[in-house]
Structure 1
Amino acid sequence: MQHPWSKTVRFMIDLEAMGTGGKSSIFQTGPLPWAVETYAGAAKYPSGQIIAQDLFLSGAIKSSTDFQVYKEVAGLPGLDFAYSDSSAVYHTKNDKLKLLKPGSLQHLGENMLAFMGMYMIVYSQQFASMLSNSVMMQALLLWTASLVMGGYPGVVAFGLSCFSLILMWLFSLGSSVLVAFLIPLISSSPVPYIANPWLVAGLFGAPALLGAIAGQHIGFLFLQKHLQKTMLRRMTSLSPVHQENLIKWEAERWIFKAGFVQWLVLLFIGNKYKIGASYLALVWLVFPSFAYGLMEATLSPVRLPKKLKIITLIFGLIVPVILSSGIFIRLVGTITGTLVRLDGNPGGTPEWLGNVIIAAFITITICLMLVYLLSYVHISGVKGSIMFFIFVLMGLTLIAVSVGLFPAFTEDIARAVNVVHVVDTKGSNRGNSEPSSYVSLFSSTPGKLLEEARSLKDEGFDCGRETALDFVTFNVKYGCLSFMDIDGGWSKEEIPLINVESDLRMGSRITRVLVDAKISKRWSLAINTELIYDFTLQVASDEIVPIGGKSGVDGWHIVQFSGGKESPTKFHLNLFWTNNSSDQSPKDHRRTKDSPLLLKLRTDVNRITPKTARVLEKLPSWCSLFGKSTSPYTLAFMTSLHADF
């Protein structure tokens, strides 16, 4: 933002991709509302979903785009677009322009495909708050009036109906999470559904739905017992069969109305914290409530209940389902695809974590979208058949996964791996004249590298957690290493250098360091935040990282540099020590074994060494090199500087 042109920029548009197709929709905007309002009015086929921005702002998506720089640093208004179908191929060999779906390019050129047709609904936060507050007040008044008319029995029935919702959530989440833990034990891959995302319907959707029905039915039975005690006194003239039906119908109505409470709570939370996607709660509360009030409700406590009409369900859900089903389905697909690169520190997360994330999201989707529908199941007469069919679907899917009927990865949707020839010069920094060279194989996709290691059995790879590596911007907690036939493809003249030029201790301690990246135009540097509170980075006389405004990640300041062919390779680093660490270097300058690292440097070279070439050739076809800004190239040099230099 130091360029003179930055003063002339008033608006920015960022066109992103997190896959190879789908609708290109707005997923971030701001900070001024007129940007999205202008787009909605001018674009031919506007498309956008605020729920994506909510996810980004919440930190649930551990990623960022160029849009953040312009929005957060420059304060520019703008729009951030992306399409996300087949998100599993993101940053892999299949993330290519020729594989991009033609329709996605077409709607980029025509201002995006239509969102649910050819329109986009836009309204201000103030109007949203006013509308939500109005709906919540009316809902609370109606519920209060209903409970007052029903008296103590009505309050108890209300509590039991809400209890059925709690059981629905607990049983649904418990069932799907149980399967999430089971999958790594029975499958060769902990995420066997990446290449076939529809498998999540049987793996997680089926147990979540089974649990939801079972949990809600238990609450339904408790509610039914309570209603038997309170309703029989005014139905003595009716036959036992009629009495039983009336009690079931009343319980069915209470369960249906409990869905209003669920969405009312979500609307209150969304409105309080100004969550953009709270409009979904508004829609799922208003339309079913209106349908129930129009078709079913009565203000007379004397009137006997009737069975819920199917038309009430259809009329109440048609708009909410149309507005939100596509969103939830797309999110399931996107989240499933991102599991390919879930493990930022390979081997650092449990194998079941990705499954639990998918299971939790599908549980949320089912419990939110089917809460009204499930109330019809308990006295439908087909509850047993429905549960049996769902159980069979879950069982068949688990069997298919356990025997490997469907491959977890394919050549089109591959597992993300990295093959890096590492030249580790940390030893030379401590007095060892010879660097260590080896090839590292690791994956950001959950799961061990057993199949990959078998295909490389003659390359001398050893896999396990004892092969942990520090790549400066991330750590490999599980991977494979080979020290066999690693000569060739690099030279000592290419090894980067870290030289201390001066170490001044006049009041505060300031150390000046020369970082020589040699042939590398892309490097990552980590600076110990416990020892260094601030720093500057210079190229010749130009200061490219000024003093102040530093932040750390896990105890390290991280600096990443990427330049073109003519970019510099020598940099000067001025380190400002904290007061309690200024005496880290002993007066006699003897190096201690346990001295902490002051600097860590990784330089990347886009070159394939002979050893790396053989490894890449022998890897299964369903493996693909994964590359992003923090990932090393296929050749990496690593060195460090200790605090007692």
Structure 2
Amino acid sequence: MAIDLEAMGVGGKSGIFQAGPEPWAIENYALAAKYPSGQIVAQDIFKSGAIKSATDFQVYQELAGLSGLDIAYADNTAVYHTKNDKLKLLKPGSLQHLGENMLAFLLKAGTSTNFPKGKATTSRGKSGQDTAIYFDILGTYMVVFRQSVASMIYNSVILQSLLIWTTSLIMGGYSAMISLALSSLSLMLMWICAIGFSALVAFVLPLVSSSPIPFISSPWLVVGLFGAPAVLGAFTGQHVGYLILLKYLTKTFSRRNVNLPLVVRDDLAKLEAERWLYKAGLMQWLILLIVGNFYKIGSSYLALAWLVFPAFAYGFLEATLSPARLPKPLKTVTLLIGLSVPFLLSSGIIIHLVATLIGSAVRLERSPGSNPEWLGNVILAILIAAIACLTLVYLLSYIHISGAKVPLIITTCLLFGISLAMVQLGVVPPFTEDTARAVNVVHVVDMTAANGKKQEPASHISLFSTTPGNLVKEVEQIGEGFTCGSDKPLDFVTFSVKYGCWSDKNANIGWHEPDIPLFRVENDTKGDNRVTHVSIDTKVSTRWTLGINADEVEDFQLKDGHEELVPIGDKSNADGWHIIQFSGGKKAPREFSLTLFWADNHTHKSHKKDSNTEQPLLKLRTDVDRITSPTETVLGKLPQWCSLFGKSTSPLTLAFLSSLPVDF
């Protein structure tokens, strides 16, 4: 069994975000852990590919066929892999929480008489029916049940719901069908306006703020910046649908109740419209439950809770205890009973999900400058708008005929206005010393000319960030002759810096010609099966990244002296490149033998028709852990809200770039 103790932040509860596929581990963890924490919602999101990352647990699960648990801290995600990602900043309570849970679980697992045998891959039968669904309640109790049980419950609820809806529509006739259609229209308008209002703010923020993500150091700002517009938009869209529905129901009641005064008929139409909006919320969650059940989504239990409890409260209090034929105002107790359990199950998940996404926004750009500045804001805005539409659909149905309309509009507008003013005036800084902006300062020595030919070394100090936004404010404080823009892209092999800043000031010192890595073509056997032998000398570097042109080279072999590091065989590639990353200690080798087996139709396949440039055959980045004099100067002037990005795939402070052209 594989137990992986991960982190994507500093502190907080250590929660399970992946488990299985064999359910034994999560079931026994739920029984043994003193303070169980875990949500299958996180597992669904992680496995959907929305998070472009991987963990060690996946290696054991996918390659070794093992089952187990993947656990991580997730608070303050923004400091992950920065200077503030330090052990001393991990709260003792967080470490104790992890220890209490894992010690209890391991003691139970170690003394278990029914420990599962064999690999997880052999126990995946029954089409995933044995996988576990899990979630904790306030960190004190964990619920775990099998997918087979969940499917049985979901199918039962879905069939009963469809039966009730079908019966009510048949009994209600044409009028009921039209009312359902119009109330469904109100839902669509609610979603459109909520997303539209919130997304509009996402586009505006980069124009009024020094940073397109000004809420990183103060996550509570998103309540006003995105939450308030989302709620206002949801209410506005639903109210427009309510008015259309009300107009239809008014005509219907006028025809059916001609003996009642006009004012009474109008009031009855309003009450009926209110009920239809509430029932439209039930329809919304029923659709989500059907979809989740069809695709076996683990977090479908949330749709079940948001459907069953409000439906029970409505049916018991409004239908059973309100037998009168004419509609009456919805009872407040209906809302309280119907929403208490769903909010209990969802509130913690929502808070952690939004907080994690906010923290992750600082690393949204894997290739700096490749995404528009507003992209992260739009993703966050859509998520918050979706949460508002899903969780407030029942509550909003109460407001249209109450006196709360004006206070709701005023409150949301004031909250948004205050939040936007604080951002625009810089009252709340986007980044602080504790929650810093991740940047890279690299002294680059580039041996590659624009046409792929070797040239005299071109050296400069490079400044770039994976955090969205320009670096104008930072370089103003640093000085040192930096120029920023997108007209000098840098290829660091594993990623490209399409927007960055560079300075040539004193860039010719701190490195030496013997430090520059070398490619040497030892022999080249041309023909139908072309094979080329290349020697690589990384000089002073024991940490490097090599890219091999997959359009030209079908297979390759890499050796360290007599030891084979990468054997001949099927090779995968990413964006047309075979990528090799190497990291060793002080005694690691520096000379390598690379054998290239060319593709049959390799003849300049990498030549771009729309460009005069040609991709090289090989490109290499060698890293040196050396702070040169100009780099030290820049680091000393780095603003306090900036932090060096410490991810292992990022260049060290001195990097040499080399390449071997196709027509060597």
TM-score of the pair, normalised by structure 1:
0.94
> What is the CA-CA distance between 1:18 and the residue it aligns to?
1.1
> What is the CA-CA distance between 1:167 and the residue it aligns to?
0.2
Counterpart-to-counterpart distance in 2, 1:347 and 1:188: 16
Matched AA of 1:535:
F
**8 A contact 2:551–2:605 mirrored in 1:** no
Relative to structure 1, the CA distance from residue 607 to residue 294 in structure 2 (aligned partners, 3 Å threshold; closer, same or farther) is same
Q: 1:204 aligns with which of 201, 226, 230?
A: 226
Q: 1:625 aligns with which of 644, 648, 663?
A: 644
> What is the CA-CA distance between 1:429 and the residue it aligns to?
11
| Corresponding residue number in structure 2 for 1:567 | 588
Q: 2:262 aligns with which of 232, 240, 256?
A: 240
> What is the CA-CA distance between 1:428 and the residue it aligns to?
12
**8 A contact 1:428–1:435 mirrored in 2:** no
> What is the CA-CA distance between 1:437 and the residue it aligns to?
1.1
| Corresponding residue number in structure 1 for 2:541 | 520
| Corresponding residue number in structure 2 for 1:38 | 28
| Corresponding residue number in structure 1 for 2:653 | 634
- SS of 2:230's equivalent? helix
| Corresponding residue number in structure 2 for 1:70 | 60
Which residues of 2 match residues 204-353 of structure 1 at below 5 A?
204-297=226-319, 303-353=325-375
Relative to structure 1, the CA distance from residue 82 to residue 288 in structure 2 (aligned partners, 3 Å threshold; closer, same or farther) is same
- SS of 1:297's equivalent? helix
Q: Which moved more, 1:405-414 or 1:598-607?
A: 598-607
Q: 1:89 aligns with which of 56, 79, 94?
A: 79
> What is the CA-CA distance between 1:430 and the residue it aligns to?
6.6
Relative to structure 1, the CA distance from residue 372 to residue 633 in structure 2 (aligned partners, 3 Å threshold; closer, same or farther) is same
Relative to structure 1, the CA distance from residue 564 to residue 216 in structure 2 (aligned partners, 3 Å threshold; closer, same or farther) is same
Relative to structure 1, the CA distance from residue 502 to residue 76 in structure 2 (aligned partners, 3 Å threshold; closer, same or farther) is farther
| Corresponding residue number in structure 1 for 2:520 | 499
1:605 aligns with 2:624: yes
Which residues of 2 match residues 2-21 of structure 1 at below 5 A?
11-21=1-11
Counterpart-to-counterpart distance in 2, 1:19 and 1:261: 38
1:145 aligns with 2:167: yes
1:557 aligns with 2:578: yes
**8 A contact 1:428–1:434 mirrored in 2:** no
> What is the CA-CA distance between 1:523 and the residue it aligns to?
1.1
| Corresponding residue number in structure 1 for 2:130 | none
Counterpart-to-counterpart distance in 2, 1:75 and 1:573: 32
Aligned residues: 628
> What is the CA-CA distance between 1:347 and the residue it aligns to?
1.1
1:579 aligns with 2:569: no
Counterpart-to-counterpart distance in 1, 2:604 and 2:37: 59
C-alpha RMSD over aligned residues: 2.1
Counterpart-to-counterpart distance in 2, 1:386 and 1:169: 18
> What is the CA-CA distance between 1:236 and the residue it aligns to?
3.0
Counterpart-to-counterpart distance in 1, 2:340 and 2:457: 67
Q: Which segments of 5 or more consecutive residues in structure 1 lack a partner in the other structure?
A: 1-10, 586-591
Q: Which segments of 5 or more consecutive residues in structure 2 lack a partner in the other structure?
A: 105-135
- SS of 1:579's equivalent? coil
Relative to structure 1, the CA distance from residue 428 to residue 454 in structure 2 (aligned partners, 3 Å threshold; closer, same or farther) is closer
| Corresponding residue number in structure 1 for 2:49 | 59
Q: 1:176 aligns with which of 192, 198, 202?
A: 198
- 1:431-469 Cα shifts (integer Å, max 9, x gaps): 656311111000111111111110122x11111111211
Which residues of 2 match residues 390-409 of structure 1 at below 5 A?
390-409=412-431
Q: Which moved more, 1:247-256 or 1:380-389?
A: 380-389
- SS of 2:530's equivalent? strand
Counterpart-to-counterpart distance in 2, 1:100 and 1:350: 34
Matched AA of 1:581:
H
Relative to structure 1, the CA distance from residue 156 to residue 115 in structure 2 (aligned partners, 3 Å threshold; closer, same or farther) is closer
Matched AA of 1:166:
M
Matched AA of 2:230:
A
Counterpart-to-counterpart distance in 2, 1:73 and 1:629: 23
- SS of 2:285's equivalent? helix
Matched AA of 2:564:
E
1:107 aligns with 2:97: yes
Relative to structure 1, the CA distance from residue 584 to residue 129 in structure 2 (aligned partners, 3 Å threshold; closer, same or farther) is closer
Give % identity: 61
- SS of 2:546's equivalent? strand
- 1:461-486 Cα shifts (integer Å, max 9, x gaps): 11111121111111111110111111
> What is the CA-CA distance between 1:259 and the residue it aligns to?
0.6
Matched AA of 1:466:
D
- 1:344-391 Cα shifts (integer Å, max 9, x gaps): 111111011111011011001100111111101111112112111111
- SS of 2:545's equivalent? strand
> What is the CA-CA distance between 1:488 and the residue it aligns to?
2.7
1:47 aligns with 2:37: yes
Which residues of 2 match residues 591-602 of structure 1 at below 5 A?
594-602=613-621
- 1:110-168 Cα shifts (integer Å, max 9, x gaps): 11797514211111111111111111111100100110010000000000001000000
Counterpart-to-counterpart distance in 2, 1:378 and 1:163: 16
